Chains A and B, each alone.
Chain A
Amino acid sequence: MSKHHVTTTINGEPMEYLCEAQQTMLDVLRDELGLTGSKEGCSSGDCGACTIIVDGNITCSCLMLGVEAEGRKIETIEGIAQGDRLHPVQQKFLEHAALQCGFCTPGFIVAAKALLDTTLNPTEEEARYWLAGNLCRCTGYDKIIRAVLDAAAVMRAEAGR
């Protein structure tokens, strides 16, 4: 099997890698690039644990091929914090105890960050539907939704300043 050469941007860094044609983006991130923050819960697009942002759109990396990253801008959980400064969603997840096992957490944080990239005024219902592609079996979603809405409030306050 000959491998494909891919040139892309991951978390703001130019990146090149070789991958096989059938390899998913999730496999590339986890197994080739050592970015194991994105998780595999289903590999069928149903759980959202593998969520990444591709050119601004949330995507299940298990449904995308590694070769499709060519020329794109990819954001993963590893790139959400700015240096040692957590993103407000990350901070609020901690404060609200919005994670129990933490396995779904990277996917939720990436998806929630994308939500807040599009609006800082989500209603509870909007947040619930936006995040309906992410499964969490531990929390019942209550604290996750509260964390996301609280992060939005913090970001609104920051934006207002």
Chain B
Amino acid sequence: MASSYDTLKVVGTRPIRPDGVDKVIGRAAFGADMVMPGMLWGKVKRSPHAHARIKSINADKALKLPGVKAVVTAADFPSIPSEEAFVGEGPMNFRDLSRNCMAQDKALYDGHAVAAVAATSSAIAEEALDLIEVEYEVLPHVIDVEAAMADDAPLLHDDLFTQGVEPKPTRPSNIAKKIGFNKGDIAAGFKEAEVVIERRYTTQPVHQGYIEPHACVVSVATDGQCTIFSSSQGQFMVRAYCAKLLGTDIANIRAIPSEIGGGFGGKTLVYLEPLALALSKKAGRPVKMVMNREEVFRGTGPTSGGVIEVKLGAKRDGHIVAAQLVLKYQAGAFPGSPVGPGCMCGFAMYDLPNVSITGYDVVSNRPKVAAYRAPGAPISSFGVESCLDELARELRIDPLKLRELNAAKDGTKTAHGPTFVNVGYVQTLEAAKNHPHMQQKLGPNQGRGIASGFWFNIGGESSAGCFINEDGTATIVEGCPDIGGSRAGMAMMAAEVLGIPYDRVRPVVGDTASVGFNFLTGGSRVTFATGMAVTQAAEKVVVELKRRAAMIWDISPDAVEWKDGMAVPAGANAGNFDPLSLADIALKAGRTGGPISAEVSINAQGAGPGFATHICDVEVDPETGRVKILRYTAVQDVGRAIHPAYVEGQIQGGVAQGIGWALNEEYIYDRNGRLDNPGFLDYRIPVASDMPMLETVMVEVPNPRHPFGAKGVGEVPIVPPMAAVANAIADAVGTRMRDLPMSPPKLRAALDEQNPPRMAAE
């Protein structure tokens, strides 16, 4: 409990991360940095068509090319029945994942893998790709989400029937699922309302944009034992998916996590590993595969684009009495968009009496979507938080005030069911209101917008070990890939419990054979759940250390206290002994019962909810339609910041991604359904000169379920920015942008529509 760590020495400080030096000198090993002896290079052949039947694949010519050792297609993978998978983040089906990794019968999007080749060099593998002959029958395709929902749309899957509608449909559809959440009486709510506004918003798919492309090196031995070294958000996730897709036992796979060069949800599933394993098995040699950037854009999952229809009814005093939301999310080629969380997060910041939420999960000829930071929430929140701003203007109420009036608090019952506890939302509004940012003067064409966001945060299964070394230092082994400094947090929590300096604790992220099961890095769960496992392991060690001290002193363990890294007698009655340091006890461990260590496996519950409120100032250039971000302040309830610098970093990173989503980023398809901008030149993510400094305000409403009060922090910061920017633009120039991205040509056109340019002749 939080109370036993009232005076913190390590938690809340900003030490240098343990893996830092390797990363600033170029020594850290990421996915593409590993080699295995005798390895081959694998490459993927991808469909150039958005939708096509694969009539035949002929690899004869490729296999004749000197240096080519193996070619695999869908025929080399077991056929897997439809089965829900609870392995990664968000909904997944093993059969769909298998078909996403390697197209079976049909290619469903531009960039869908249809074959893979392994050769002695990457140049030969590349050459071999052109020699693999694939005969396609090109089919009509559909890209847009609403077009895909139409009755006469080209169908991606003959066996996909809309779930969640009664009676059960008899015709297949691209609508995989319809879901709904209701609270109160929506019709009565709108009747009661004095002001009703109804708006439609759209967002485009955006890619996580991790700078490290997917990469792995694998080996399959003749006895079937596999080693996978890869960059992912979860070595246990990689192991589970690969075992299923290859049809082997989990125990046959050892998955070793590399350092990971960003993921943001995009590395919570596999693409290359199963192909590399199949190639390695066939060729009898290790295989290395690395995607290039174009493959990352065409072949891996962005998040959904969506249509967001919002209707709000309020009293003149600002109380919202009815709220309705309809969401249509693109899932890509297979079901599984984050429309569920989108539905749940949209209104979650507010205490609303009457709510109706409907969501559609829709397939179309795009890459299967993958999780992206607070999956689903930024999309629905862009609509809801923009609409709230429109409502505030209509009611002539300050937008912050409007949020305060309707804010969710402890005890608020959400539309999706749970009743909130440990809510820090009002505190974020309060901190935003009092922030000096709100007093900054705005000039011409400048405006200020605010928006809020919610994300659940999760706990889940984590294991960790704490091993005391002979010299009194400690090793922590945990199992969640460190994507942004989490190892530092683990070492800090362990050091706090053990009472020894931070740099006497060295943490490592273990492979699947070195630590108990861990769910992946995702859902903002690592510092909370894995941190809890590490803390408990260290606490178990402390119990053991006290027992050993008691043994040395020949007193009862109850009479020993652990203080500042030392065993001391608990009061005068316990006897008079000199304190024993951790190092003293460790040195004698062999004589008091052997090595001192503890391992803990838990299913952590009680992750505190994440709330954030952002303030954004923009300046619009009316000539070009370009938006410059002048100032940005992000306020967030973080529970308690273990390593504040990395908490700030999570917030700043989420904001930057949100600004890219707001202003620039989108997937652009041509008439044939081919991706037109699969590179960082045309898919433009924010660069340093696009950004101001990003002010962060950490509100701390501690989470009583975590030993140090931590809440997840990584995801909610991407939820508010799109609406914050849109609301600021509306404030600056009076133009309401309802379609993302709010790129210069679009904003320029909207401005022209608002104030038609005068003709030269006039």
Complex: A47 Cα to B260 Cα, angstroms? 17
* B28: chain A residues within 8 A (beta carbon): 102
Q: B-facing mask of A119-151, CB < 8 A → 1, else 0?
A: 000001101110111111111111111100000
Q: Are B656 and A140 in contact (CB under 8 A)?
A: yes
Residues of chain B with a CB closer than 8 A to A90's CB: 24-25
Q: How far is the CA of A44 from the CA of B679 in the complex (A)?
A: 8
The reply to whether the CB of B576 lies closer than 8 angstroms to some CB of chain A is no
Q: Which of B12-20, B89-97, B392-400, B561-569 contacts A (4 or more CB under 8 A)?
A: B12-20
- A77-B25, A105-B23, A140-B653 known; A46-B679 Cβ under 8 A: yes
Task: Quote the shortest CB–CB distance from B616 to chain A (angstroms).
Answer: 13
Interface string of B652-691 (1 = CB under 8 A from A): 1111110000000000000000000001110001111101
A139–B22 CA distance with the chains assembled, in angstroms: 18
Q: Are A137 and B210 in contact (CB under 8 A)?
A: yes
B25 and A95 contact, CB distance less than 8 A: no
CB-defined contacts of A39 to chain B, threshold 8 Å: 30, 32, 211-212, 261
Interface residue? B26 (CB, 8 A): yes
Instruction: List the A residue with the shortest CB-CB distance to B30.
Output: A103
Least Cβ distance of A141 to chain B in Å? 4
A42 is an interface residue with CB less than 8 A from chain B: yes
Q: Is A104 an interface residue (CB 8 A)?
A: yes
Nearest-CB distance from A115 to chain B (Å)?
Answer: 11
Closest to B684 in A: A46
Query: Given A42-B293, A47-B211, A100-B646, are A78 and B652 neighbors across the interface (CB < 8 Å)?
Result: no
Q: Which of B32, B653, B686 has the most CB of A within 10 A?
A: B653
B33 at the interface (CB under 8 A from A): yes
A41–B213 touching, CB < 8 Å: yes
Give the residues in chain B near A127, CB-CB below 8 Å: 688
A146 proximity list for chain B (CB < 8 A): 693
Is A128 touching B689 in the complex (CB atoms < 8 A)? yes
Contact of B123 among A20, A41, A94 (CB under 8 A): A20
Q: How far is the CA of A110 from the CA of B605 in the complex (A)?
A: 44
Distance from B134 Cβ to chain A, minimum over Cβ atoms (Å): 25
Q: Does A81 contact B (CB under 8 A)?
A: yes
B694 within 8 A of A: yes
B680 and A47 form a contact (CB under 8 A): yes
- The CA-CA distance from A80 to B21 in the complex, in Å, is 12
A38 to chain B: which residues have CB within 8 Å? 26
A93-B24, A106-B26 are known contacts. Are A44 and B293 too (CB-CB below 8 A)? yes
**Across the interface, do B293 and A137 meet the contact criterion of CB distance under 8 Å?**
no
B645 proximity list for chain A (CB < 8 A): 96-97, 143
Give Cα distance in the complex from A30 to B685, angstroms. Answer: 26
CA of A127 to CA of B688, assembled, Å: 8
For window 183-217 of chain B, which residues contact chain A by CB distance below 8 Å? 208-213
From known contacts A44-B681, A103-B261, A138-B653, infer whether A144 and B688 are also in contact, taking CB-CB under 8 Å.
yes
CB neighbours of A7 from chain B (8 A): none
- The smallest C-beta distance from A105 to any residue of chain B, in angstroms, reads 5
Q: Are A129 and B689 in contact (CB under 8 A)?
A: yes
A157 on interface, CB distance cutoff 8 Å: no
Chain B residues whose C-beta falls within 8 Å of the C-beta of A6 in the assembled complex: none
Q: How many residues of A contact B (CB 8 A)?
A: 58
User: Is B649 on the interface with A (CB-CB < 8 A)?
Assistant: yes
Contact A103 B262 (CB under 8 A): yes
* Contact, CB under 8 Å: A95 / B211: no
Decide if B24 touches A86 in the complex (CB within 8 Å): yes
* Residues of B with C-beta under 8 A to A141: 652, 656, 686-688, 691
Q: Is A99 an interface residue (CB 8 A)?
A: yes
**Residues of A contacting B26 in the complex (Cβ-Cβ under 8 angstroms):** 35-38, 76-78, 106
A43 close to B484 (CB less than 8 A) = no
Within the assembled complex, what's the spacing in Å between the Cα atoms of A103 and B23?
8
Other-chain contact of B25, A37, A100, A142 (Cβ < 8 Å):
A37
**Which residues of A have CB within 8 Å of B17?**
94, 97
List the B side residues contacting A145 at CB < 8 Å.
688, 693
User: A41 touching B211 by the CB < 8 A rule?
Assistant: yes
A47 to B653, CA, bound (A): 17
User: Once bound together, how far apart are the Cα atoms of A44 and B30, in whole Å?
Assistant: 20
- Contact: B262 with A138, CB < 8 Å? yes
- The yes or no answer to B264 lying at the interface (CB within 8 A) is yes
Chain A residues lying within 8 Å of B27, measured Cβ to Cβ, are 37, 78
Task: Tell which of B23, B262, B292, B649 touches A137, judged by Cβ atoms closer than 8 Å.
Answer: B262
B657 touches A97 (CB 8 A): no
Contact, CB under 8 Å: A97 / B649: yes
Contact, CB under 8 Å: A136 / B652 = no
Mask of A70-110 contacts with B, CB within 8 angstroms, 1/0: 00000011101100001000100111110111111110010
Chain A minimum-CB-distance residue to B41: A31
Q: B634 — nearest CB in chain A belongs to which residue?
A: A140
* Inter-subunit contact A36/B29 (CB<8 Å): yes
CB distance from A63 to the nearest CB of B (A): 12
Contacts of A109 in B (CB 8 A): 24
Nearest CB in chain A: distance from B289 CB, A? 13
B479 within 8 A of A: no
B484 smallest CB distance to A (angstroms): 4
Does residue B570 face the partner (Cβ distance < 8 Å to A)?
Answer: no
Asked if B261 contacts A102 (CB within 8 A), the reply is: yes
Tell me, rounded to whole Å, the shortest Cβ–Cβ distance linking A18 to chain B.
Answer: 14
Residue B637, interface by CB 8 Å: no
A142 touches B652 (CB 8 A): yes
Q: Does B259 contact A (CB under 8 A)?
A: yes
Q: Does B523 contact A (CB under 8 A)?
A: no
Whether B483 sits at the interface, judged by CB under 8 Å, is: yes
B646 and A97 contacting across the interface, CB-CB below 8 Å: yes
What are some 29 contacts across the A-B interface (CB < 8 A)?
A: A35-B26, A39-B30, A39-B211, A39-B212, A42-B679, A43-B293, A77-B25, A90-B25, A94-B16, A97-B646, A100-B485, A101-B262, A102-B261, A103-B30, A104-B211, A104-B261, A105-B24, A106-B24, A129-B688, A129-B689, A131-B689, A137-B264, A137-B653, A137-B685, A138-B262, A138-B484, A139-B653, A142-B691, A146-B693
- Give residues in B with beta carbon < 8 Å to A: 14, 16-17, 19-21, 23-30, 32-33, 123, 208-213, 259-264, 290, 292-293, 483-485, 643, 645-646, 648-650, 652-657, 679-681, 685-689, 691, 693-694
Give the 4 A-B residue pairs with the shortest CB-CB distance, closest first.
Answer: A37-B26, A103-B261, A140-B656, A102-B23
Q: Given contact pairs A97-B643, A101-B263, enumerate 16 new A-B contacts (beta carbons under 8 Å).
A: A36-B29, A44-B680, A78-B25, A97-B648, A102-B20, A103-B259, A128-B691, A131-B688, A138-B262, A138-B484, A138-B653, A139-B656, A140-B649, A140-B653, A140-B654, A141-B686
